[in-house]
Structure formats: C-alpha cells, structure tokens
Structure 1
Amino acid sequence: MRLLRSGAGAARLLLAFGMLVTIAACGEKTPNGQVVAVVDGEEVTRRELAFEPEAGTSGEGTAQPALAALLSGVIDRKLAVAEARRLDLDQTPEYLARAKRLDEVMLSRTLFDRWAEDAPEPSEGAVASFISTNPQRFEGRKLFLVDRIQAASTSPAEALKPLQSNDAVASYLDSHSQPYGRERTVLDSATLPFDLYQQIVALPAETPLVLAHNGALVSLAVLQAKDAPPAPVDRTAMAITALKQEAVQEKLLALRKDAEISYQPGYAPTTTPSAELAAKRN
C-alpha cells in the first residue's frame, strides 16, 4: 500500500471521501409525508395506495392501518413490473394490446363519470315517471335463475321457437351440428328492457324464450324466480342514477353520430345503439 507523505494529501483524500458520502446520501430518498415507501428509488405515495381497489375509497380518506396493509402487495407489484420491463415483456404485442385496452377503459370511464356529474338533476316528475314505467327495476324486480343456451348463428331461430324445453333446443342444435354453449346463470330483471321482462315473466316455468341478438341466438328458460324489489328509501336515488346514465348514453350516441365508422362484412351490429336505448326506455 502506498502511504501519503503529507498531511495536505491526507486531507484532500478525506475531503473527497466525504463528498462521495454526501452525494450518495443526497441520492437516497427517505419516506416521509405523503411518501410511505421507496422501492429502488421509486416512491410509493399515500394517494397511490388509496386508489388500490381493496382500499374501498379514493383520495385521502382511507385510514393509515388499511393503507399499510396494502403496501406489501404494492411493493411486490412494483418489483415484478421492474423485472418484467428488464425482460422487455412490456414490448410484446399481447402486453401492448392489453395495456391499450386498459387505458381506453379507464379513460372512457373517467369521461362517463364526468358526464354523469355534469348532468342536471332530474325533476321529481321525471323520477316518478321513470319508477312507474320501469317496474322491472323497482317494485317488480326479480332475480331469475335461467338455463341459458347461446349459439353463434341465428339461422335456426324460427325452428327453435316452438320447442318446449331447452333440452329440446339442445337436441335440435346437436342434430344439426350447430355448436353452442349452455350454462345456468342469474339474470337480474333490472338489466332488461321492459318488453323483454314482460315476455319472460309470462312464460311457463322452464319454457324457453328464443331470441336473436347481434348475430347470436339465445334461448332462456327460467328455472326459478325470486322477488327482489329495492327498498323504497333507495328507489329515488336509483332512478336518478339511471336517468343520469341515460344522459351519458345520449352523449355517447352524439359522438357516434358525428364519427365515421365502417365495418368489415359480418361485423356490423344487427341493432343500433339508439334502438337499444329506446328499448330500455320502453
């Protein structure tokens, strides 16, 4: 080892070493205030934690213990993201397509929320009218356990309508080599147009209702029905929300009207969005 021969040289070395330590210390981020953790130099903020789905709220209203419980998962995710980027997984076609879709979904939802907030409050008369003309959402709301068959083609619709069970529908599709899916699921009448609701409640149990919709064939057979009217105290708020959502759909229809949209043959919808909105109103 080479020894320094002068005190001045030693002083210069100590000074240089001290400066390196100071620079390193300045580069470190110490969590404080809104910053709750630092992961390889990347800050995790309280606000970021508050927007985790498990937080149950957004903004600054979430309690600290609840946010602290989420921190470990957020750190794991950030470490995984950094490793994925190191492996260039963020450049794959699959990732880019999914990321584009997620960005579009989040941005469009933000727009819809803004439109709903800006929509004028409906009058008492409009609310009362909406409740009375949509019994499937309110007093007459039901939960249907249905046997649902869906086929990709609507061609056998007329032949299926006279059949008296979904087993018969399935047998017909099998005999004609028509692929289909079949499942039991719960159908909430609040999601249905009133005319479709009327058709379903009028059917005898397990008798199928065959529908052609957007290029697909659907056969619904009700196995059980349960009354599920919302509490009277909640109905006004529900009606206001629904009316504001209709205002959002009106704005979206206006954008469609002004847009230039073309379809490859076979991809165009068989019903227009404006017709679907009108059906929901009726």
Structure 2
Amino acid sequence: MIALSLSACDKEATGQVAAVVNGEEITLQEINAELGSAAIPEGVDKKLVQQAALQRIVERRLLAQAARDDELDKTPDYLLRERQLRDALLVQLMGQRAERALKVPGEQEIDKFIADNPVMFAERKILAVDRIQFAMPKNVDQLKALENDHSMEAVAARLKQMGIEFRRDATQIDSAALGQQRLQQIRALPAGEPFVVPENGVVTVGVVTGERAEPVPAANARPMAVQAIRNKQMSETMQQRLKQSRTSAEIQYQPGFAPAPEKGTPTKK
C-alpha cells in the first residue's frame, strides 16, 4: 500500500498531463476528446475553453472515484452496462476505420446513383401516412392473418382479436428514406390497401393518405448522393465483416432464444 501511494504521488501535472486527480492522470488528449469536433468561435480564448473542458473531466472523475468508493463498479448493473458501452465503442471505432478506407465515388457513379434513385432527388415526395405499429410477435406466422385485411380498420380489429397491443397515429414519411423499390411496391397496391413493413423488431402497417413534392435542389443533389453512396458502402462493409465473424463463431442458444432460420438456410440438427 505504501508503494502504491508513493507511485501515485510521483505523478505530476506536466507535459501531456493536464491534471492529476487522486493519482489518476487527465491528459491533453482527453481534453481534446472532450471538446470533440466542436468549433471554437473566433476570438474566444482557446485556453479558457480547454480549462472549462478540463474542469468537467475533473468533476466527472471525482464523482466516478466516489462511485467506486461506494463499490458501484462491482454491481451487476455496472458490469452489464460496461460491456454494452465497450462493445458499442469497439463497433464505432471499427466503423470509423472502415469509413476512412472507403473509396471516393467518381462523377459517373454519382450521376448514375442520382438517375437510379429519383425519389431521393428530383422526384422526392413527403408522404402522409395513417400508421399502425406494434412489436414483432414471437410467432411471425401471425402476420399472415393480415393478408386478409384490406383496410386499416380491419388491421386494427385483427390485432385486437389476437391480443396484440399497437399504436396508431398519423405521420409523414420521406420517400428518400423508403427508397425506390419500396415506394414502387407501395404505389402498386390498390387504393386504401395497407402495406406491411417488418423491420428491426417492429411491424409497421400503413396507408398513404396524401403526398407533396419536395424535390432536392440541384446544388444539393451531388453532395447528398456522395453521402448516400458512402453510407451504402459502409453498410456493405460492416455486413461483410459481420458475415465473416458469424461464419467462424460458435454460438449456443438456450431453447426458445434462437432466431428463426432465414428462408433457404438449412437448419442444424
């Protein structure tokens, strides 16, 4: 204990170390991370901004040390959240590294993307939608019953009959978010026929009740296309990495927790 105490006392606020709080160093790198990408207004003393950021870190560090004195870092809740944050941070850093490696789209690729996705640009629409949303049921086959319902009232009645809680509201959907293919599928439905979109554990049922044109100005189209192309590249990169990891991983599920097999995917005996 004496040796540890002396080691803590040896730490000094010098060089890259802006402060030492009960033996824990706070570096200039931490201050820069605290400030992030925030632009410092012209004429403002940068040193004062750094000092303010340092004080926020010092106060947070003192409270964190007090929490450890109370042994909160040994509770199940802390350990669970620590793992969640660690996983999320690693995925975020992986994404940032992958983004730096993305190729810059060329002029022809940008022009083709704009031409192939008019609902994102010149033909962009804002759709008024009567919407019902509910959590994906454990038995996905229950959704097949909605195929016989040809109005929102019929869908609502069916869900009540099945004992599924739902929320109904009026909302707006950007055609750019829907994408060309999904918008075409919705427009191909008879008037008043609900569309069903199961995604990310939530089922959305809706009917388009109106729309207005919101074309993207030509000056903004190309930067938006570049970002959309990069987002698509990023998604494909991360999905490929996930596929590789899943292929080599050994995953065991408790009965009842395994995901439903995808169509065309053989199940293991």
Q: TM-score, normalised by structure 2?
A: 0.70
> How far apart, CA to CA, are the structure 2 residues paired with 1:70 and 1:175?
56
> Corresponding residue for 1:130?
113
Q: Which digits, 9 at most, give the CA deviation of each residue in 1:232-258, with x for residues without a partner?
A: 241342244134313343333333334
What is the identity, as a one-letter code, of the residue corresponding to 1:70?
A
What secondary structure is seen at the aligned counterpart in 2 of 1:51? helix
Determine which of 254, 259, 266 is the counterpart of 2:249: 259
Q: Which digits, 9 at most, give the CA deviation of each residue in 1:198-256, with x for residues without a partner?
A: 23455688753123457754313445655263712413422441343133433333333
> How far apart, CA to CA, are the structure 2 residues paired with 1:240 and 1:98?
34
> Corresponding residue for 1:41?
23
Contact 2:110 2:222 in 1 (8 A): no
Counterparts of residues 1-282 of structure 1 (less than 5 Å): 27=9, 31-52=13-34, 55-57=36-38, 63-144=46-127, 146=129, 147-153=131-137, 154-161=140-147, 163=149, 165-182=151-168, 187-201=173-187, 208-213=194-199, 217-222=203-208, 225=211, 227=214, 229=216, 231-245=220-234, 246-261=236-251, 263=253, 264-265=255-256, 267-269=258-260, 271=262
> How far apart, CA to CA, are the structure 1 residues paired with 2:238 and 2:192?
37
Change over 3 Å in CA distance of 1:225–1:174 after alignment to 2: same
Contact 2:127 2:209 in 1 (8 A): yes
What is the identity, as a one-letter code, of the residue corresponding to 2:164?
Q
Contact 2:192 2:207 in 1 (8 A): yes
- Deviation, 1:99, is 0.9
Flag structure 1 segments of 5+ consecutive residues without an equivalent: 1-23, 273-282
> Corresponding residue for 2:267?
none
What is the identity, as a one-letter code, of the residue corresponding to 2:133?
I
- Deviation, 1:30, is 5.6
Contact 2:133 2:202 in 1 (8 A): no
What is the identity, as a one-letter code, of the residue corresponding to 1:131?
I
Q: TM-score, normalised by structure 1?
A: 0.67
Change over 3 Å in CA distance of 1:189–1:88 after alignment to 2: farther
> How far apart, CA to CA, are the structure 1 residues paired with 2:157 and 2:90?
45
Flag structure 2 segments of 5+ consecutive residues without an equivalent: 1-5, 40-44, 264-269
Q: How many residue pairs align between the two structures?
A: 246
CA RMSD of aligned residues (A): 3.9
Contact 1:214 1:270 in 2 (8 A): no
What secondary structure is seen at the aligned counterpart in 1 of 2:118? coil
> How far apart, CA to CA, are the structure 1 residues paired with 2:259 and 2:30?
41
- Deviation, 1:144, is 4.5
> How far apart, CA to CA, are the structure 2 residues paired with 1:175 and 1:90?
47
Q: Which structure's CA Rg is the greater one?
A: 1
- Deviation, 1:184, is 5.5
Query: Percent identity at matched positions?
Result: 31
What is the identity, as a one-letter code, of the residue corresponding to 1:267?
A
Q: Which digits, 9 at most, give the CA deviation of each residue in 1:102-131, with x for residues without a partner?
A: 111111221122223223344444333333
What is the identity, as a one-letter code, of the residue corresponding to 2:115?
S
Change over 3 Å in CA distance of 1:142–1:71 after alignment to 2: farther
Contact 1:34 1:46 in 2 (8 A): yes
> Corresponding residue for 1:3?
none
What is the identity, as a one-letter code, of the residue corresponding to 1:244?
Q
> How far apart, CA to CA, are the structure 1 residues paired with 2:148 and 2:156?
13
